[in-house]
Structure 1
Amino acid sequence: MKGALAITISALLLVQPFLAAQLPTKTNHKLVTMSMVRPLVEHGRVGIDKCKTCIDFAGQALNELLNIILQGGVVGGCADLCNALASKTSPAIGTVCNILCDIVGIEEFIKIVQNADLDPIYYCELIPACPINDNGDAHFTSFQVSPKSGPQGVFDIDFTYESKNGTGTGEIAIEIDTLAPAGSYNGDIQLKAQPDPNCDPTQGPCEQWLPGTYTVKIAICNGECGSKHPHSAIYDETSATFTITQ
Structure 2
Amino acid sequence: MNFKLLSLLIILTFASTTFSTKIKSFVGLRELTHQIEGYEICDKCYTFVEDNIHSTVNNIIHGGNKSCSDICSVLNSTSYDVCETMCETLGLELFMVLFSVVDPDPVYICELLKVCEINDNGFANVTSVTVSPTSAPQNTSFNVNVDYSVSSELGTGTIQVQVWAPGDGQVVTLNYLLEETTVGQYTQSFIIETYPNDNCNFTAGLYMVDVLICEGSCQSTHPHSKIYNLERSQFTITGNGGSGSGSSGSYLFW
Superposition TM-score, scaled by structure 1 size: 0.63
Percent sequence identity over matched residues?
A: 33
What residue is the counterpart of 2:201 in the other structure? 206
Contact 1:66 / 1:113 at 8 angstroms: preserved in 2?
Answer: yes
Distance apart, 1:115 and its partner CA: 3.1
Verify: 1:174 aligned to 2:161, yes or no: yes
Aligned residues: 186
C-alpha deviations, 1:1-59, integer Å up to 9, x for none?
xxxxxxxxxxxxxxxxxxxxxxxxxxxxxxxxxxxxxxxxxxxxxx9711122112212
Structure 1 or 2, whichever has the larger Rg, is 2
* Alpha-carbon spacing, 1:92–1:158, altered in 2? closer, same or farther (3 Å): closer
C-alpha deviations, 1:97-152, integer Å up to 9, x for none?
23223443333322222232222221111122211121121112222223444555
Superposition TM-score, scaled by structure 2 size: 0.61
Superposed, which structure 2 residues align to 1:224-239 within 5 Å?
A: 224-239=217-232
More helix by share: 2
What is the alpha-carbon root mean square deviation over aligned residues?
Answer: 3.1
SS in 2 for 1:174: strand
What residue is the counterpart of 2:22 in the other structure? none
Superposed, which structure 2 residues align to 1:63-142 within 5 Å?
A: 63-71=54-62, 73-75=64-66, 80-81=67-68, 83-142=69-128
Contact 2:125 / 2:149 at 8 angstroms: preserved in 1?
Answer: yes
d(CA) in 1 for partners of 2:142, 2:115: 36
Contact 2:126 / 2:229 at 8 angstroms: preserved in 1?
Answer: yes
Contact 1:100 / 1:127 at 8 angstroms: preserved in 2?
Answer: no
Verify: 1:146 aligned to 2:139, yes or no: no
* Alpha-carbon spacing, 1:70–1:149, altered in 2? closer, same or farther (3 Å): closer
Q: Give the counterpart letter for 2:113 in structure 1.
A: I
Contact 1:121 / 1:223 at 8 angstroms: preserved in 2?
Answer: yes
Q: Give the counterpart letter for 2:222 in structure 1.
A: H
Greater relative contact order structure (CA < 8 Å, 6+ sep): 1
d(CA) in 2 for partners of 1:190, 1:137: 26
What residue is the counterpart of 2:49 in the other structure? 58
The ranges of structure 1 where at least 4 consecutive aligned residues each deviate by more than 6 angstroms after the TM superposition are 182-186
